[in-house]
Chains A and B, each alone.
Chain A
Amino acid sequence: MIPFIAPDLMPAFPEISLAILALMLLMFGVSRKSDPFHAVSNLSIFALLAVGVMICRYCGESVTTFNGMFISDSFGGFMKMLVIAGSAVSILMAAKYAERQRIMRFEYPVLILFATLGMLLMISANDLMSLYMGLEMQSLPLYVLAAIQRDSIKSTEGGLKYFVLGALSSGMLLYGASLLYGYTGVTNFDKMATVLAASAPLSLGVIVGMVMLICGLAFKISAVPFHMWTPDVYEGAPTSVTAFFAIAPKIAALALLTRVFMGPFGSMVAEWQQIVVVLAIASMVLGSVAAIGQTNIKRLLAYSSIGNMGYALVGLASASAEGVKAVMISSAIYMVMTIGTFAIVLMMKQRERMLEDISDLSGLGQRQPMLALAMTVMMFSMAGIPPLAGFFGKLFVFQAAVAQGLYWLAVIGVLASVIAAYYYLRIIKVMYFEEAGDEGLDPATDVRLNVLAGVSTVALLLFIAMPGPLLASADAAAKSIAIFKPK
């Protein structure tokens, strides 16, 4: 008889706490007669903050638990902090918007909490089983969130599309995982790394499995050609949900992708690098070219996020500690830019009606100079113009690529960034160069959104003066992730 050994729960303590807190909040919401949306929202933010503090305390050294299925290290800690911050801010941004759009259901923040829990598990996954569990745990709440505005056709359509395509990608991922298990005989990442490093030549099954796995994950970060769902879901989902989609799941999936590439596939760089290079190039080019014709700002931001994921993939393609560091820095900066931009998009309303067209911003420079200034900083930063923070996100990514001799990838990347600059500039043009129409946007009164926009603007402006803390912590965290030498 196998003796039962209780696993060490401490490394997973933040995740366990989050699960308990989320369940408690769910019970609290159900037990109330009137919908306690605001109370649950605020409590969820506190719950996330508490979990954030715990992660800060527990992510020091690398420890595994649950038979090696769960890993807690400083790379994971860094990415988890980003995810937690992104989730907390998304709940914060949603408060007023949900009220206006009549999606004030307490399930909204609770679903975000569960999705966040799934993302934390994804980041900590050290086994194909926990990878799939985390991934599904984050996906299911996201499908519901996309369709949370039940009486809107666009929202339900977006939710359904997301679900169908998401299920397809999960199937691909599962198929890849089973092939990998079949050919290596293990599911644990560390063991798989040893097995794969020792097996030469690699069998076809392993490679097909790896490709399938990458396809499934590429869907989650909406890398081209697995991006089809992104513009529709972004446009269809309520804006506050879109903001959440643009921030947290992307970062979590990137972290998972990084861990898989650097861990089990660390010895097969030559095999996966070419795939990542193609994904990166396709995402960067499509992200910049397809955005040019967009008139809806949410669709535009969808393409912008596709492009940004392309840049992050450039860092990943370089397959080095520098590349991992670049991925971390650029995701942190991407998160700040996205938060700021969505905070402003959430303030785009006229007579209490939400607007989504880029042309609705016209004349903002004269009507609301501070808001326009914040948006300008965001756009220049997204375009990667120094001295703003967005430039450094791209700088480190390209630095990693050039260091590994991926010159053509870097050249295509910078050229794509010039094309992308065009549509970011177009928003600035609409705000400043065009005379204001008869009726502008309502004055931005939401304190939370104003503070979020203001803080992210200042952060992007001042990053150049104080790059130290972010760089140093990313540096330390990147070193914690195993990097295998190619065979």
Chain B
Amino acid sequence: MITFPILSLLVFLPLAGVLFLLFVRGDADTVARNARNTALLTSLFTFGLSIYMYMGFDGSSAELQFVEKLPWLPGLNINYKLGVDGISVFFVLLSTFLTPICILASWESIQHRVKEYMISFLLLETMMLGMFCSIDLMLFYIFFEGVLIPMFVIIGVWGGKRRVYSAFKFFLYTLLGSVLMLLAILYLYNTYGTTDIPELSNLAIPANVQKWLWLAFLASFAVKVPMWPVHTWLPDAHVEAPTAGSVILAGVLLKMGGYGFLRLSLPVFPDASVYYAPWIFGFSVIAVIYTSLVALAQEDMKKLIAYSSVAHMGFVTIGIFAMNQNGLDGAMFQMLSHGVVSAALFLCVGVIYDRLHTREIARYGGLIKNMPKYATIFMVFMLASVGLPGTSGFIGEFLVLVGAYQVSTTVTAFAATGVVLGAAYMLYLYKRVVFGELVKSDVKAMKDVDGREVAIFLPMIGLVFWMGIYPSSFTAPMAPALAKVIERVAPARQALLEAKAPAAAEKKAEEAAKTAEEQSAVTTEAEATPVEPEPAKEPEKTEEAPKHKKGKKKK
């Protein structure tokens, strides 16, 4: 049993590295070397600590673990509260896993302002970890937006030619989404007097209020995911960001949107989530098909992978809003898998970009002849992205499609075409870059991957196969937490199903009447209060229902 506040330590450990780096002095070379070493050591140590934390994590429980709570804003019921459950623990691990990889990947490609670069990355790690560990909404928001500062600097300072435009677009797009969420948070706080996420997840918020608040949260998460049509910042940001910036952007930052849906939108606003689910399906399907087609036409490698990210995240949103065990499992799995695979693909692009300094697909060709090791590594991740059985990508997409099939065959049919298109653009990319004749002299002169690069890729390859071959070591610990989310949205879904097909659901409704009605009453009741002839009954019911739910969870 871990007795010290491990999550705080985890979150603020990178910040200690930042403080140390601020005081590094000396000539440029010494500073750069020290900065690299400090950043790597700090991030590795953080990774080690997160593994230690995971070993103490109880995967069979749906409850939040390692909870820490300190009073923060006096006079307001807003606290410093951290904790992890089966959903967030994997994102914590993903963040701590990718940060040292990013630092290693920029070992040689970043040569100027190394200290500032490393400071930005460690700061970013603190913000990401803080966001995934927060279980207070205000704290969550602060970390959620705090991520913008280091990322803006990373794109803007070490990016490509149009870096200023991209950095601004990234920053303002995301900020615009988040400020609306801030107002929704303030509304929740003013109405319900708390920003504690578990408490908010047990509230019965009137359905019409939910719809507005849900949209405010959507503005924030949809930009982060990113969902079509607010995805346009992503290709720009990816193309201009340095390799490691793209890695962290694709690997972790995009997951913040999906995590937000899972952690906040579904449990806090179950009725609104059910109500808007068809819209999400629509936008996701468009995202999957449209961005896949766009990816097919790209001339720039990073842009292609960026568009493929949008398509893959489309699967994630489909899975989340399918709102059943398979769908949520699949969405989570797809996020983790995409976190590793797309990160690795950006690293693959980075490897050849470091050598030839161009991302134009047509400039390459025939790499298999002079870079066989590279071709193999690239192939593994390319196939994982396509979703080949045995790799992590397959499990995620498959589970999402299974989950979606239980809800809507049409959505599944359209989404499945995305899998085919995904194979098309990735294989086409691979063909153009790796196969073909090796004619260009500068391409001929490129050296194969070195030890440092192999060291970066090996753990990622291992992870891709581990996730692909033995997925239950990942799905099992997240299942209880996801089941809790499903249980929370179940009454709302039930109500919708009954409203849609009254005849077919008649029998089910009779059976579930006792349990389901009581639960759904909580949420629909408040909306219907003006019509309610006996207002005296209402407070009793609202009080009863959460108790009833709590009892159920313990089973």
Residues of A within 8 A of B (CB): 365-366, 369, 380, 385-387, 391, 395, 398-399, 402-403, 407, 410-411, 414-415, 417-418, 421-422, 425, 428-429, 432-433, 464, 467-468, 471-472, 475
**Distance, CA A435 to CA B500, complexed state (A):** 62
Q: Kindly identify which residue among A395, A399, A425, A433 contacts B157, using a CB–CB cutoff of 8 Å.
A: A433
A418 x B176 contact (CB < 8 A): yes
Contact, CB under 8 Å: A414 / B142:
no
What residues on A are CB-neighbors of B186 within 8 Å?
A: 395, 398-399, 402-403, 410
Shortest beta-carbon distance from B51 to chain A in Å: 27
Q: Are B142 and A403 in contact, with the CB atoms below 8 A?
A: no
The distance from the CB of A407 to the nearest CB of chain B, in whole angstroms, is 7
B175 touches A418 (CB 8 A): yes
A369 and B149 CA atoms in complex are apart in Å by 17
A429–B171 CA distance with the chains assembled, in angstroms: 12
Pick 7 A–B contacts, CB within 8 A, sort by A: A398-B182, A403-B186, A411-B183, A414-B180, A428-B156, A429-B167, A433-B167
Query: Closest 5 interchain pairs by CB?
Result: A414-B179, A386-B142, A402-B186, A403-B190, A433-B156
Query: Are the C-beta atoms of A467 and B164 separated by less than 8 Å?
Result: no
Residues of chain B contacted by A417 (CB below 8 angstroms): 179
B146 with A414: CB separation less than 8 A? no
Beta-carbon contacts of B291-322 to A below 8 Å, as 1s and 0s?
Answer: 00000000000000000000000000000000
Closest to B184 in A: A402
Q: For the complex, would chain B's binding face be called helix, strand, loop or mixed by DSSP majority?
A: helix
Q: Which of A385, A386, A398, A421 contacts B183 (CB 8 A)?
A: A398
Contact (Cβ within 8 A) A475 B74: yes
A402, B183: Cβ atoms closer than 8 Å: yes
B141 at the interface (CB under 8 A from A): yes
Pairwise interchain contact B164-A433, C-beta atoms closer than 8 A: yes
A322 to chain B, nearest CB (A): 9
Q: Which B residue sits closest to A468, measured CB to CB?
A: B74
Contacts of B190 in A (CB 8 A): 399, 402-403
CB-defined contacts of B171 to chain A, threshold 8 Å: 421, 425
| Interface positions of B from 124 to 178, Cβ below 8 Å from A | 141-143, 145-146, 148-149, 152-153, 156-157, 163-164, 167-168, 171-172, 175-176
Q: Is the C-beta of B189 less than 8 angstroms from some C-beta in chain A? A: yes
Chain B residues within an 8 Å CB radius of A428:
152-153, 156
Which residues of the other chain, B, contact A414 by a CB distance below 8 angstroms? 179-180, 182-183
A328 to B436 Cα, complex, angstroms: 69
Q: How far is the CB of B397 from chain A (nearest CB, A)?
A: 36
Which of A369, A398, A407, A471 is close to B74, meaning CB atoms less than 8 Å apart?
A: A471
Of the listed residues A366, A399, A475, the one surrounded by the most CB atoms of chain B closer than 10 A to its CB is A399
Q: Shortest beta-carbon distance, A145 to chain B, in Å?
A: 37
Please judge, given known A-B contacts A407-B183, A415-B179, whether A471 and B73 are in contact too, CB under 8 Å.
Answer: yes
The answer for the CA separation of A422 and B513 in the assembled complex, in Å, is 54
In contact, A385 and B145 (Cβ under 8 angstroms): yes
B359 to chain A, nearest CB (A): 20
Q: A365-B116, A472-B75 are in contact. List 9 more A-B contacts (CB 8 A).
A: A365-B113, A398-B186, A407-B187, A418-B179, A421-B171, A422-B172, A425-B168, A432-B153, A475-B74
B169 to chain A, nearest CB (A): 11
In the bound complex, how far is the Cα of B115 from the Cα of A365, in angstroms? 12
**In the complex, what's the smallest C-beta–C-beta distance from B266 to chain A, in angstroms?**
24
In the complex, what distance in Å separates the CA atom of A316 from the CA atom of B29? 54
Q: Which residues of B contact A369 (CB under 8 A)?
A: 116
Residues of A within 8 A of B470 (CB): none
A411 to B187, CA, bound (A): 12
From A386, which residue of chain B is reached at the shortest CB distance?
B142
Distance to closest chain B CB from A314 (angstroms): 12
Asked if B156 contacts A418 (CB within 8 A), the reply is no
Count CB-based A-B contacts (< 8 Å): 89
B428 within 8 A of A: no
Complex Cα–Cα for A365 and B157 (A): 10
Name A's interface SS: helix
Residue in contact with A429 in the complex, picked from B73, B156, B189, CB distance below 8 Å: B156
Which residues from B are CB-within-8-Å of A366? Answer: 113
Provide the residues of chain A in CB contact with B116, threshold 8 Å.
Answer: 365, 369
Report the bound CA distance from A237 to B183 in whole Å.
38
Please pick, from B149, B164, B179, B187, the residue contacting A402 in the complex, using a CB distance under 8 A.
B187
- Residue on A with the closest CB to B174? A418
A425 touches B74 (CB 8 A): no
**B20 lies within 8 A of chain A by Cβ:** no
By a CB distance below 8 angstroms, the chain B residues around A421 are 171-172, 175
Q: How far is the CB of A392 from chain B (nearest CB, A)?
A: 9
Shortest CB distance B17–A (Å) = 16
Give the Cβ gap from A180 to chain B, nearest Cβ, in Å. Answer: 34
A386 touches B189 (CB 8 A): no
The reply to whether A429 and B141 form a contact with Cβ atoms under 8 Å apart is no
**Cα distance A386–B126 when bound, in Å?**
13
Q: Does B276 contact A (CB under 8 A)?
A: no
Expressed in whole angstroms, the Cα–Cα distance for A108 and B116 within the complex equals 41
B9 CB to closest chain A CB, in angstroms? Answer: 16
Closest residue of chain B to A384 (Cβ to Cβ) is B179
Q: Tell me, in angstroms, the Cα distance from A432 to B113 when the chains sit together.
A: 11
Return the chain A residue nearest B173 by Cβ: A418
Quick one: which of A387, A411, A415 has the most chain B CB within 10 A?
A387
A471 and B75: CB pair below 8 A?
yes
Known: A402-B183, A471-B75. Is A391-B189 also a contact (CB below 8 A)?
A: no
* B180 lies within 8 A of A411 (CB): yes
Residue in A380, A391, A422, A432 whose Cβ sees the most chain B Cβ within 10 Å: A432
Q: A429-B164, A468-B74 are in contact. Are A386 and B141 (CB under 8 A)?
A: yes
Q: Which residue of the partner chain A has the closest CB to B157?
A: A432
Residues of B within 8 A of A380 (CB): 149
* Complexed CA–CA distance, A395 and B185 (Å): 11
Bound Cα distance A467, B73 (Å)? 6
Q: How far apart are B542's CB and chain A's nearest CB, in angstroms?
A: 22
Q: What is the bound-complex CA distance between A421 and B142, given in angstroms?
A: 16
Q: Give the interface centre of A386, A387, A417 by most chain B CB atoms within 10 Å.
A: A386
Decide if B72 is an interface residue (CB 8 Å cutoff).
yes
Whether the pair B172, A391 counts as a contact (CB closer than 8 A) is: no
Q: Which residues of A contact B152 (CB under 8 A)?
A: 425, 428
Give residues of chain B (46-75) contacting chain A, Cβ–Cβ below 8 Å. 72-75
Q: Are A475 and B179 in contact (CB under 8 A)?
A: no
Residues of B within 8 A of A365 (CB): 113, 116, 157
Q: Within the complex, which residue of B72, B74, B142, B157 is in contact with A391, where a contact is CB–CB below 8 Å?
A: B142
- CA distance in complex: A467, B71 (Å): 11
13-62 of chain B: CB within 8 A of chain A: none
Which residues of chain B come closer than 8 Å to A422, judged between CB atoms?
168, 172
Q: Are the C-beta atoms of B156 and A432 separated by less than 8 Å?
A: yes
A residues within 8 A CB of B73? 467, 471
Known contacts A425-B152, A425-B168; decide if A433 and B145 are in contact (CB<8 Å): no
CB distance from B245 to the nearest CB of A (A): 14
Q: Tell me the bound Cα distance from A429 to B152 in angstroms.
A: 10
Q: How near does chain B come to A95, taking the closest CB pair, in angstroms?
A: 29
Residue of B with least CB distance to A392: B73
Q: B74, A464: Cβ atoms under 8 Å?
A: no
By the criterion CB–CB under 8 Å, are B146 and A385 in contact? yes
How far is it, in angstroms, between the C-alpha of A432 and the C-alpha of B155 when the chains are bound?
11
CA gap between A410 and B142 in the complex, in Å: 18
Contacts of B168 in A (CB 8 A): 422, 425, 429
Distance in angstroms between the alpha carbons of A425 and B116 in the assembled complex: 18
The CA-CA distance from A398 to B186 in the complex, in Å, is 8
Nearest opposing residue in chain B for A471, CB measure: B74
Shortest C-beta distance, A450 to chain B (Å), equals 16
Closest B residue, CB atoms, query A429: B164
- Complex CA distance for A390 and B91, rounded to whole angstroms: 29
Distance in Å: Cβ of A405 to nearest Cβ of chain B: 9
* In the bound complex, CA of A475 to CA of B75 (Å): 8
A398 to B141, CA, bound (A): 15
Chain B positions within 8 Å of A403 at CB level: 186, 190
* Contact partners of A391 in chain B: CB under 8 A: 142, 145
**How many angstroms from the CA of A421 to the CA of B175 in the assembled complex?**
9
**CA–CA, A429 to B159, complex, Å?**
13
Q: Least Cβ distance of A469 to chain B in Å?
A: 9
